[in-house]
Structure 1
Amino acid sequence: MKSSRRTWLRNSLAAPCSLALAPLLSLRTGLAAAAAAPAYAIVMNSGEASVSVIDMATRKVLRTLPTLREPSHWALTPNRKELYIADASGNALFVVDPVKASAIGHKTIADPYQLGFSPDNRYLVVNALRLNHVDVYRADDLSLVKRFAVGKMPSHLDFAPDSRTSYNSMQESNSLVALNLTDMSVRWTTDVGKTPAGVLWHKGKVLICVMGADHVAEVDPANGKVLRKIKTGVGPHNIFLAPDKKTLYVSNRIGGSLVALDADTFELRRTYPFRAAGPDDIAIAPDGKIWVALRFHEQVAVLDPESGKYETIDVGRSPHGIFLSTQLAHTGPITAEVL
């Protein structure tokens, strides 16, 4: 009897600790599963309503998944179980298993072009480029919380680390808008130059690609004031922070190059030319190779940043967003801007 009582007491005392460890064990299990699975590149072909699934080891397209109309960008759900692919004029999220790179289904949503989960995982913010509004949804059930009509052609977005503000570029309005996610109001709107696109929060400032010019604008998040212009090349479209946090990559879609900037000083380190291929979104593999969607060439390039040489893989028309399943091995939030 005493032995049974000791066993019961020991198990009872251990239970709270086991419960506390459950989320950590779940994360470890998920990371282990991702590491054991084949590595896939998932490429969104905006021009032909499809997603190409590439075996990262062999560089071969394994299959093509049909979407409704116009797949563009992606967002990984907070639990990492689903990859939401924005199917803009299809008015849907195309849902993919990020480990198996297989289709799960669609969720109806108005004109999603660029999208992202707030860092606190409370909201999913969606830029509806064609319909000229920004939508804020609850992340858990995708119910609409607020619709903002704040400019023409909402394009890209990023968040303040405290989740209180979303920064959204308005391509046709030449502006950047700061949206207060606490009380669902507009903090400020500022003119940043012709045809702004990619947005990134970086070291307490907001960086925005000015596609109608040749630079990235650094903006004060408190008031929207443009602090300086960082020249990168003709037609900068999007900006990404490397995993080591030491390099910023900017894709000059019009000028046909990818440039590497020092993440602290913004000094131009290197330019990688892609001629008239229209480099767009990128992703970085564990081996350091940079996967680049070539928007105008129906190809994805796999770039060796040391040698500057690259190989290409044929995909669908107008490849746009790109997700690597190897990113699932990273801890912390995974977004398209922070690789």
Structure 2
Amino acid sequence: MITRRTALALPFGLLAPAAYGDTPPPICVVMNSGAASISVIDMNTRQIIATEPAFREPSHWALTPDRKTLYVCDAGGNAFFAFDPVTAAPLGHCTIADPYQLAYSPDGKYLVVNALRLNHVDVYDAASLSLVKRFKAGEMPSHLDFSPDGRWCFSSQQKTNALFSFDVQTLEPRWTVPIGNTPAGVLWLNDKIIVCIMGENGIIEVDPVDGRITRRIETGPGAHNVFYDEDNKILYISNRGPGDTSLAALDPETLEIKRIYKIPGGPDDIEIAPDGKIWIARRFAEAVAILDPVTGEYDSIPVGRSPHGIYLSTCLARKGKLTAEII
């Protein structure tokens, strides 16, 4: 059953969660960038149980530090949409300038937003969502991550082929360095920064102190985003194309490729369910793939146009900080 609700300009928390009883089903929330919609899938039945409207271009997500609210970015609509992270009940929206990618600082003090269209990196007070600092570091800021101690933030600048870093405590720039053609996904791993370089079909490893490139590894066409499976110690790279698109599984220490999963339709963001299945947004196939990493086989669920970000409510059972890239 598909239901559609009108997007509401209400303060967050004003709407009551949906009545699912004591045990709501685990859900998958898919951000359909091309359809201006958000699909909600019952993970048990693999059926779409709701389709929520956005304004123009929902892309990525973040959980508030208290885990009580799921924010979904709508970059083209200049808005955050808020949802109950357990049921996906809509909780309203607020105006934010061009939120494409976002992440909370490790101490929960700041929310950093990459404004890809407007070419700035914004730092908001996490509690009030008031703007604290705006950086003009390059063009098309894409993805971001922090050092675990919360001291530094790193943001890929897609059009100017650079990586930008600022000091989170002083809110002053540290450096901007050229790193390759069309950088995207960013992840802190083993005291280094991993950056996907879409135009060079692979990833680079960067020294977080000075931005120096220490390694380059080819993973596949259009290497777009990077994810770390903490439980199984696997680094995943989504190779979005053009060409033969795939999901690459790497050893996180050596960065050696252990397996390539061919996933047509441009795999983008991923999440891992408790049963080990990998849920993958197939950006150009209007579908979500559910991959068995042992057999390499997958099933598909049709969703809206250009599925981008993907969230599983089952992540709430994990301890520690929850992000879209640590799964």
Provide the TM-score with structure 2 as the length reference.
0.92
**Alignment match, 1:259:** 248
Q: Deviations over 1:196-253 (max 9, x none)?
A: 0000000100000000012101000000000110121111000000131510000000
Higher-helix-fraction structure? 1
2:288 maps to which of 300, 303, 308: 300
Deviation for aligned residue 1:129: 0.2
**Alignment match, 2:315:** 327
Listed as ranges, the gaps of 5+ residues in structure 2 are 1-19
2:230 is the counterpart of 1:270 = no
Matching residue's letter, 1:326: T
SS of corresponding position for 1:280: strand
Q: Is the 8 A contact 1:98 1:325 kept in 2?
A: yes
Q: Deviations over 1:257-302 (max 9, x none)?
A: 0010011111111000023x01000000000000000000000000
Matching residue's letter, 2:226: I
2:166 is the counterpart of 1:195 = no
Listed as ranges, the gaps of 5+ residues in structure 1 are 1-32
SS of corresponding position for 1:326: helix
CA RMSD across the alignment: 1.4
CA separation in 1, counterparts of 2:52 and 2:274?
Answer: 25
Deviation for aligned residue 1:104: 0.6
SS of corresponding position for 2:200: coil
Matching residue's letter, 1:103: P
Flag as ranges the 4+ runs of structure 1 deviating above 4 A: none
**Alignment match, 1:250:** 237
SS of corresponding position for 1:212: helix
Deviation for aligned residue 1:37: 3.0
Provide the TM-score with structure 1 as the length reference.
0.89
Q: Is the 8 A contact 1:246 1:264 kept in 2?
A: no
2:22 is the counterpart of 1:56 = no
**Alignment match, 1:8:** none
Deviation for aligned residue 1:36: 4.1
**Alignment match, 1:84:** 71
1:112 maps to which of 99, 103, 109: 99
Q: Is the 8 A contact 1:245 1:263 kept in 2?
A: no
Identity %: 58
Matching residue's letter, 1:293: A
CA separation in 1, counterparts of 2:219 and 2:281?
Answer: 18
SS of corresponding position for 2:310: strand
CA separation in 2, counterparts of 1:141 and 1:187?
Answer: 26
